[in-house]
Homo-oligomer: A and B are copies of this chain.
Amino acid sequence: MLRPILSTHRNSGDRVSKVVQLEAERARTVKALDLMKDLVREDLDRVNQVILQHMQSRVELIPQLAGHLIASGGKRLRPMLTLAAAQMCGYTGDRQINLAACVEFIHTATLLHDDVVDASALRRGRQTANAVWGNEASVLVGDFLFSRAFQVMVQDGSLRVLDILSNASAVIAEGEVLQLLTTNDTATSEDAYLDVISAKTAALFAAACRIGPVIAERPRAEEEALESYGRNLGIAFQLVDDMLDYASRDAVLGKSVGDDFREGKITLPVILAYRRGTDDERRFWHRTLEELDQNDSDLRVAVSLMEKYHALRDTVERARHYGAMAKDALGIFPRNPAKQTFLDLVDFCIQRTH
């Protein structure tokens, strides 16, 4: 599995040196997340404190349930983007801390509601909150975190930031509804799929990045550059996520492989394998994803069809395309260590195995 990552270089002449070069690149990008973490380490610790503080409530179940998910080893990618963007824009104040926590709260609220909608039992290798405390509590604690995010933004006092994050929240909800409508529909086009992931995932990445230049009061062009970076990174991230749902292993991804398949979600690997497949194979996809009539060997058959049509490799190819756009969006920023971590993060998101 995960061979697709190297496969774009399959026509290279000098194979050995290419492989060595790729290994080096690989090693660097695997570290990209850690490098960004190092860059914002101090801020990120403060964000984690602020998250713990703001999720408190006189109703004990709220911090219990929220904490279960928040403390479960998420990458904190979105708040990190806010912190790193603020830093790259030369911001020297404190506001990025609370606002990064807001971004994580909105993300967490979305995950809680997502897991209810998908009836998921496992996330990040642990039982989901809905599996432990029930759907009802997950819906309501999601609502609480969402409200709390807005309370904290109001305390921050910037209508610009409130505008960015309330817009992102509405777009996310639209994207989630769109996803619901494409589920079990093998006729879903790649465009429709892109529309879903742009809304449900990329909108928050874009907003998280934009907050940095906004609080640093940088020119509109920098806001738009970072927003574009975030949006394209988000699309690449989700493409790889959807690939990993077929290509990863339980222990690494920390969620059940094949979840999307079992739920009949139509992601790009399915769309490509379906569109490139024979009538017989399409009947397989209809049975398994539309009628949800699945047996034990079907997931293996699905993956083999995806391999037959290079659907997983090409999903990563598509991710590279958005990754390239993300990198180019940052062209207007001068070369510096913060910018380099943003560039490397793109490669990390594409080459990651979890």
State the Cβ distance, A206 to closest chain B Cβ, in Å.
15
What is the copy number of this chain in the assembly? 2
**Interface size (A, Cβ < 8 Å)?**
39
Knowing A140-B113, A181-B59, say if A150 contacts B176 (CB, 8 Å). Answer: no
Whether B144 lies near A170 (C-beta < 8 A) is yes
Task: Provide the A166-196 mask, 1 if CB < 8 A to any CB of B, else 0.
Answer: 1101101110111011000000000000000
Whether B181 lies near A61 (C-beta < 8 A) is yes
Whether B140 lies near A117 (C-beta < 8 A) is yes
Whether A177 lies near B117 (C-beta < 8 A) is no
Interface SS, A side: helix
Chain B residues with Cβ below 8 Å from A153 are 166
Task: Provide the A121-148 mask, 1 if CB < 8 A to any CB of B, else 0.
Answer: 0000000000000011101110110111
Knowing A143-B173, A144-B173, A159-B157, say if A59 contacts B178 (CB, 8 Å). Answer: yes
Residues of A within 8 A of B (CB): 57-59, 61-62, 113, 116-117, 135-137, 139-141, 143-144, 146-148, 150-151, 153-154, 157, 159, 162-163, 166-167, 169-170, 172-174, 176-178, 180-181
Listed A/B pairs (16) with beta-carbon separation below 8 Å = A58-B174, A59-B174, A61-B177, A62-B174, A113-B140, A117-B135, A117-B136, A117-B140, A140-B173, A141-B173, A144-B170, A147-B170, A147-B173, A151-B170, A153-B166, A157-B159
List of 7 A-B pairs having minimum Cβ-Cβ separation, nearest first: A144-B173, A147-B169, A147-B170, A150-B166, A143-B173, A117-B136, A151-B166
